[in-house]
Amino acid sequence: MLNDAPPSTLLRQGLIVDGSGRPGVVGDLLMAGDRLLAVGQVDAALLAAQPALHEIDCSGRVIAPGFIDVHTHDDAAVLDSPDMCPKLSQGVTTVIVGNCGISLVPVLSDDPPGLLKLLGPHQFRHRRMADYAEAVAQACPGVNVAALVGHSALRIRHLADLDRPALASEIEAMQADLKDAMDAGAIGLSSGVFYREAHAADLAELVAVATVAAREGGVYATHIRDELDAILPALQEAATTARQAGLPLVLSHHKCAGPANWGRTRETLPLLEALAREQELGLDVYPYTAGSTVLRTDLVDGIIDILITGSVPHPEMAGRHLADIAREWGVSQQAACERLMPGGACYFQMRQDDVDRVVTHPLSMIGSDGLPHDERPHPRLWGAFPRVLAYYWREHAMLGLEQAVHKMSGLSARRFRLDGRGELVAQAHADVVVFDPQRVRDLATFEDPVRFSEGIEQVWVNGVLSYVGGEGRVRARAGRFLKRRTHLHSQHSETV
């Protein structure tokens, strides 16, 4: 697939929802090369100056910035499956990789340990972010890629023993790797202190490492220590880490998990609002009541439904419920889980009203947290973005259209400091999606998770028409590795 210099494209008479959250207006959009030339009203002289013009009638359609998936584990997928069909087909034009403390960089391994398996086994061969950036450029994936460095990956590389806090010398080694990665364009640090690989990290270690990202203008995204009973202290720990290190905080996939905690977003969201008055803070969320991660016995409570997404010793069990498997084997669910490990599952651990409160909260943006290497992935991998439009805007009116788009583009770009993306303004990069507001919806379900969404009609990445709905494939790949901006404009955090 070659990226020919595209002709100028004029999208005519669509409802332009520009990603800022401002009301949409009917108008035209002109793009040329990899940039937007004019948005709203396009002047005749500018049109006449275009050597070749491709016109598309967008009446009855919405023209929006390409969506930004702020929470992904697509680190290896952008190299191994560069079409990135699950994302482009949702209107996503940029993914942020390296979440939850796990990233390819700086681990070198043919058999990645523990949680790193989430990224698939084949791509742990990028010692430095510069190598990874080069690999992305070579692969030329369908979507743009911005990369966080995972604290757990740094630990795996540099700690002799993961079950204690890092020693001073190990902290220095992690800092040096992170600095090197930031210099090569990484956008920040992620952590996953929930997981064994980083569970022993204390505040001092986290602050010491995050300080390096802070100095370089990066952000700190974290899968907090506890999303169950101890969620409030876990949120406080994340906020303290970011405040002491001096950088913006993103709380990953905010949720209240486990039946004992259902309803507690009534406590967590006010806490986050209060914190956001003191420090720059955002959160991401996926629009489903099930989470998905590796198989873990501590998440098996005998109450919630658990759907197996893959199992190394028992691949035939993908798509089946843990309770059924346990019954068939005549063992407890915990014992069945142990037999299925290593593997993955969807955990139906949230309640709808909590998810709704988070998705509709002004601080939240959308991140799929999709796991591209699972046998039968959680449907969020293929459906999260159209689902926000269908479920939260059109069917339930819990979000305005402009708000929904803002949470998937403008807000996301601002939080992660992606320059020139996320809003439709002249001179921005030409990442654009056109969708049919009456038809847009996700079709991926837990039973049938690999399905194209409906109503996403055209997607441009850096000015290249990359996906056309109904064709069932990706047309072109024009994604880039997005480097962190080098000069910082001082940006005051907005509060709720």
Note the residues at the interface with Zn ion (CB under 5 A).
100, 223
Nearest to 139 by CA among 147, 131, 128: 131
- The residue with tokens 């899968």 is 223
- The residue with tokens 């949120």 is 235
CB of 347 to Zn ion, least distance (A): 12
Q: Where are the beta strands (DSSP E) in 348-469?
A: 364-366, 432-435, 456-461, 464-468
CB of 99 to Cu ion, least distance (A): 5
Q: How far apart are CA 246 and CA 237, in angstroms?
A: 14
CB of 182 to Zn ion, least distance (A): 22
At a CB cut-off of 8 Å and minimum separation 6, what does 79 contact?
Answer: 123, 135, 136, 139, 141
Dihedral of alpha carbons 253, 258, 264, 268, sign: negative
C-beta of 93 vs 99, nearer to Cu ion: 99
CB of 175 to Cu ion, least distance (A): 24
CB of 424 to Cu ion, least distance (A): 29
| Alpha carbon distance, N-terminus to C-terminus of the chain | 44
Q: Which of 8, 99, 349, 466 binds Cu ion (CB under 5 A)?
A: 99
C-beta of 291 vs 463, nearer to Zn ion: 291
C-beta of 100 vs 256, nearer to Zn ion: 100
- The residue with tokens 């047309």 is 475
**CA distances (Å), 302 to each of 26, 108, 328, 337, 433, in order?**
52, 38, 15, 11, 43
C-beta of 100 vs 433, nearer to Zn ion: 100
Residue nearest to Cu ion (CB): 100
Q: Which one of the spans 87-95, 301-309, 368-376, 488-496 is the region binding Cu ion (CB under 5 A)?
A: 368-376
CB of 203 to Cu ion, least distance (A): 22
CB of 35 to Zn ion, least distance (A): 35
DSSP letter assigned to residue 115? G
8 Å CB contact between 256 and 268: yes
Q: How far apart are CA 496 and CA 273, in angstroms?
A: 7
Q: Which one of the spans 91-99, 242-250, 388-396, 476-484 is the region binding Cu ion (CB under 5 A)?
A: 91-99
**Number of shown-chain residues binding Cu ion (CB under 5 A):** 3
Q: Which of 69, 197, 369, 423 binds Cu ion (CB under 5 A)?
A: 369
Determine, following the binding rule CB under 5 A, whether residue 364 of this chain makes contact with Cu ion: no
Q: Which of 11, 29, 32, 100 binds Cu ion (CB under 5 A)?
A: 100
Stretch 190-229: interaction string toward Cu ion, x if CB under 5 A: ----------------------------------------
CB of 19 to Zn ion, least distance (A): 25
φ, ψ for residue 15, nearest 5 deg: -80, 110
C-beta of 73 vs 264, nearer to Cu ion: 73
Select the binding partner of residue 158 from Zn ion, Cu ion, none (C-beta < 5 to 8 A, by kind).
none
Select the binding partner of residue 388 from Cu ion, Zn ion, none (C-beta < 5 to 8 A, by kind).
none
**CA distances (Å), 423 to each of 66, 71, 83, 165, 446, in order?**
9, 19, 24, 41, 32
At a CB cut-off of 8 Å and minimum separation 6, what does 340 contact?
Answer: 295, 308, 311, 313, 314, 317, 322, 325
Nearest to 56 by CA among 7, 12, 14, 6: 12
DSSP letter assigned to residue 395? I
CB of 192 to Zn ion, least distance (A): 6
Select the binding partner of residue 483 from Cu ion, Zn ion, none (C-beta < 5 to 8 A, by kind).
none
8 Å CB contact between 175 and 208: yes
- The residue with tokens 């028409």 is 465
Select the binding partner of residue 177 from Zn ion, Cu ion, none (C-beta < 5 to 8 A, by kind).
none
C-beta of 99 vs 152, nearer to Cu ion: 99
Stretch 342-361: interaction string toward Cu ion, x if CB under 5 A: --------------------
CB of 369 to Cu ion, least distance (A): 5
C-beta of 87 vs 421, nearer to Zn ion: 87
Select the binding partner of residue 136 from Zn ion, Cu ion, none (C-beta < 5 to 8 A, by kind).
none
C-beta of 281 vs 461, nearer to Zn ion: 281
Q: How far apart are CA 189 and CA 182, in angstroms?
A: 9
C-beta of 10 vs 100, nearer to Cu ion: 100
C-beta of 231 vs 430, nearer to Cu ion: 231
8 Å CB contact between 417 and 187: yes
Positions that interact with Cu ion (CB under 5 A)? 99-100, 369
